[in-house]
């Protein structure tokens, strides 16, 4: 399912792809492992301590931001470019208001608490539904679409509920790879591999994987800039996606924000058609 717009004009195609872009439909793709064999026990202890320090420092940063966003999506047959204003809050609330070159609203998308909402201004239609149903209906792992979007988009280690199961060096000497698994007994398969540069304490990239440790997507970070008391990547690139696609998010004017759940509930103007997708 894509955002329910069937218009074949350029704008229609762009809006039709917005929801999958925002939800990060990372469904497939294999690649060679970029890491070496596991480090020895002494090196493991040192690198684990460094990771714990970085995660504690990241936890002291803000839990909400807003700013401008230019989003592009390229495949072998099509490309999309969208611009607008975004808001994001830990752990997985995101809102993106798309505007035209004159600054007029075109569409708003909000993802929060297991559901999505879309306000399509040209069609005067409001759409809402469950992320889990969306995922199951389209053979996408539900955990992927309901994953830690805040951590993925701000370049931070997952804030909680995970532990380091394995540590390896990067083959290209870009840093250290940490295999993260969910907390709990008998949890041994990673949910992602995180590449951390020990010299800067910044995340270089992460590989999101499924239950068989097969890659869903590779997310890389660049152009780190101050935002409040911390640093954020202003360029986030997502590769290894299905359909030979690549997404690039370019953030600007990013500042810490005070947000609430109400900020991720789209107001529906009077007279708009409402369509719900359970």
Separation of alpha carbons 19 and 59, rounded Å: 29
Distance CA 135, CA 137 (A): 5
Q: Cα 110 vs. chain centroid, distance in angstroms?
A: 13
What pLDDT score does 63 carry? Answer: 94
Closest CA to 104 of 86, 84, 87: 84
Q: Based on C-alpha coordinates, what's the Rg of the chain?
A: 19
pLDDT means per 10 residues, the chain with 278 residues, are 41 56 46 85 95 92 95 82 95 93 90 89 93 66 70 92 94 95 78 92 90 79 92 92 76 96 95 90
> Residue 126, SS3?
strand
User: How far is residue 127 from each of residues 89, 114, 121, 226, measured CA to CA in Å?
Assistant: 22, 15, 11, 36
Residue 206: per-residue pLDDT:
95
Interior CA angle at 55 toward 188 and 228, to 5°? 145
In this prediction, residue 9 carries a pLDDT of 45
Closest CA to 85 of 264, 267, 252, 266: 252
Alpha-carbon span 139 to 79, nearest angstrom: 23
> Model's pTM, two decimal places?
0.84
Q: Mention every residue, 6+ apart, whose C-beta is less than 8 A from residue 14.
A: 80, 81, 82
Residue 271, phi then psi, degrees to nearest 5: 90, -10
What is the predicted pLDDT for the residue at 103?
Answer: 84
* Centroid of chain to Cα 269: 29
Cβ(209)–Cβ(190) below 8 Å: yes
What's the pLDDT at 274?
96
Q: How many CA atoms lie within 13 A of 94 on its CB side?
A: 24
pLDDT for residue 186: 67
Query: Token pair for residue 263?
Result: 């900020």
Torsion (CA) 158, 88, 252, 57 in degrees, nearest 10? -30
Distances (CA, A) of 22 to 60, 87, 111: 26, 12, 8
**Coil, helix or strand at residue 35:** strand
**Which two structure tokens, joined as six digits, stand for 58?**
């990241």
Q: What pLDDT score was predicted for residue 6? A: 39
Q: Is the CB of residue 237 less than 8 Å from the CB of residue 21?
A: no
Q: What is the pLDDT of residue 101?
A: 87
């Amino acid at each position: 399912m894509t955002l329910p717009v069937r218009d074949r004009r350029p704008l229609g195609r762009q809006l039709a792809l917005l929801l999958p872009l925002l939800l990060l439909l990372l469904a497939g793709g294999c690649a060679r492992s970029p890491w070496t064999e596991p480090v020895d026990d002494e090196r493991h202890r040192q690198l684990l301590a460094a990771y714990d320090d970085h995660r504690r420092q990241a936890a002291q940063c803000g839990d909400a931001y807003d700013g401008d966003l230019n989003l592009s999506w390229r495949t072998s047959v099509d490309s999309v470019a969208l611009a607008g204003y975004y808001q994001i809050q830990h752990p997985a609330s995101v809102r993106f208001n798309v505007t035209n070159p004159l600054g007029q609203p075109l569409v708003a998308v909000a993802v929060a608490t297991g559901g999505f909402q879309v306000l399509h201004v040209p069609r005067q239609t409001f759409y809402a539904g469950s992320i889990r149903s969306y995922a199951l209906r389209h053979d996408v792992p539900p955990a992927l679409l309901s994953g830690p979007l805040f951590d993925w988009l701000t370049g931070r280690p997952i804030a909680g509920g995970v532990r380091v199961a394995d540590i390896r060096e990067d083959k290209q000497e870009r840093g250290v790879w940490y295999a993260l698994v969910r907390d709990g007994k008998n949890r041994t398969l990673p949910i992602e591999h995180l590449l951390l540069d020990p010299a800067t304490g910044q995340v270089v990239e992460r590989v999101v994987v499924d239950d068989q440790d097969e890659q869903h997507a590779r997310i890389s970070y660049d152009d780190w800039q101050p935002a409040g008391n911390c640093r954020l990547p202003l360029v986030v690139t997502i590769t290894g996606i299905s359909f030979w696609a690549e997404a690039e998010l370019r953030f600007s004017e990013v500042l810490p924000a005070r947000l609430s759940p109400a900020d991720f509930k789209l107001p529906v103007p009077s007279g708009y058609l409402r369509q719900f997708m359970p």
